[in-house]
């Protein structure tokens, strides 16, 4: 029996004792009053024997039951005995004869749905940011490679390609575009060998003439192409156009050069 049940039982027993004592006091008062009445009646009785008989009858009728605490306890309602299958009380006391069963540990609390969703959103955002950063880094690396390749191309393009054999071969294929026969190639070869030896980078230190045809100034070659400083084809195209417009043919230009040492 738990301590709480024992306390309630004791409280009920004390209340029963108080009620018994109260009834006892009331009975004593009634008995006293009866004795007084009997005393008056005895004075009028015809004999002592009748008085004692009458008093005995009255006292017997007024006799109070003797108070017994055992009776008070008996008046209390019987308390139901705990069942063998009853679970341990709230205080944790186990039924008699049985081992105390430990209370089950509380289940682990499950994460809040909002917290889970927030964590998943944060993970997705972090993954997206990482992917974007990787893409930006890859794009930056590709841009750097492209810039390096372009710089290398420009650097290579800025270097004149001195290829006399290549320049001569190209000039031979370009004669027909100006209406000249293959015979003009011999005169052209002699003329530009005297001027520049077919070098794309040929520069006259005193006059500043530049390139295979020795254009003066060299910037005139730009009318044939932006790569006039490095590309022999651009220089050959400009020189053939110049000869056609000024002398009519390479051989006529060579004859002028023989007479004037320039053309």
pLDDT one-digit tens code per residue, 63-81: 444 444 444 444 444 444 4
Find the mean pLDDT for residues 87-96: 46
Q: How many CB atoms lie within 10 A of CB 213?
A: 29
**pLDDT of 201-227, one tens digit each?**
999 999 999 999 999 999 999 999 999
- Alpha helical stretches, state H, the chain: 3-44, 48-62, 69-75, 113-157, 164-174, 184-195, 232-246, 250-260
pLDDT of 256 above 50: yes
User: Closest Cα to residue 79, out of 26, 128, 11?
Assistant: 11
How far apart, in whole angstroms, are the C-alpha atoms of residue 221 and residue 218? Answer: 6
More confident residue, 197 or 1: 197
Q: What is the pLDDT of residue 190?
A: 98
- Given this model, what pLDDT does residue 211 score? 97
Quick: pLDDT tens for 126-169: 999 999 999 999 999 999 999 988 877 777 667 888 999 999 99
- Is the bond preceding 217 in cis, omega lying within 30 degrees of 0? yes
Averaged pLDDT score across all residues of the chain: 78
> How does pLDDT run across 50-60, given as a tens digit for each residue?
445 444 445 44
Q: Shortest CA distance to 171 belongs to which of 198, 194, 202, 197?
A: 198
Give pTM, 2 decimals: 0.45
Query: pLDDT per residue over 93-128, tens digit each?
Result: 444 445 555 565 555 556 688 899 999 999 999 999
Cα 216 to the center of its chain, rounded Å: 70
Structure confidence at residue 29 as a pLDDT band (50, 70, 90): low
Distance from C-alpha of 261 to C-alpha of 255, rounded to nearest angstrom? 10
Q: What is the structure's pLDDT at 4?
A: 75
204 vs 1, higher pLDDT = 204
CB 54 within 8 A of CB 38: yes
């Amino acid at each position: 029996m738990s301590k709480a049940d024992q306390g309630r039982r004791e409280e009920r027993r004390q209340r029963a004792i108080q009620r018994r004592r109260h009834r006892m006091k009331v009975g004593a008062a009634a008995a006293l009053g009866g004795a007084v009445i009997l005393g008056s009646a005895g004075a009028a009785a015809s004999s002592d024997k009748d008085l004692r008989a009458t008093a005995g009858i009255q006292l017997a009728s007024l006799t109070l039951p003797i108070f017994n605490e055992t009776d008070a306890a008996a008046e209390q309602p019987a308390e139901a005995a705990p069942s063998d299958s009853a679970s341990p009380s709230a205080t944790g006391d186990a039924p008699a004869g049985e081992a105390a069963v430990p209370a089950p540990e509380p289940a682990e609390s499950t994460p809040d749905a909002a917290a889970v969703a927030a964590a998943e959103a944060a993970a997705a955002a972090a993954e997206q940011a990482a992917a974007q950063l990787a893409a930006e880094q890859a794009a930056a690396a590709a841009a750097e490679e492209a810039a390096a390749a372009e710089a290398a191309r420009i650097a290579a393009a800025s270097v004149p390609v001195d290829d006399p054999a290549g320049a001569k071969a190209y000039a031979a294929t370009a004669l027909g575009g100006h209406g000249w026969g293959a015979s003009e190639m011999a005169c052209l070869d002699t003329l530009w060998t005297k001027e520049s030896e077919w070098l794309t980078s040929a520069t006259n230190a005193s006059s500043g003439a530049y390139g295979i045809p020795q254009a003066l100034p060299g910037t005139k070659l730009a009318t044939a192409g932006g790569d006039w400083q490095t590309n022999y084809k651009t220089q050959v195209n400009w020189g053939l156009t110049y000869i056609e417009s000024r002398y009519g043919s390479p051989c006529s230009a060579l004859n002028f050069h023989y007479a004037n040492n320039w053309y």
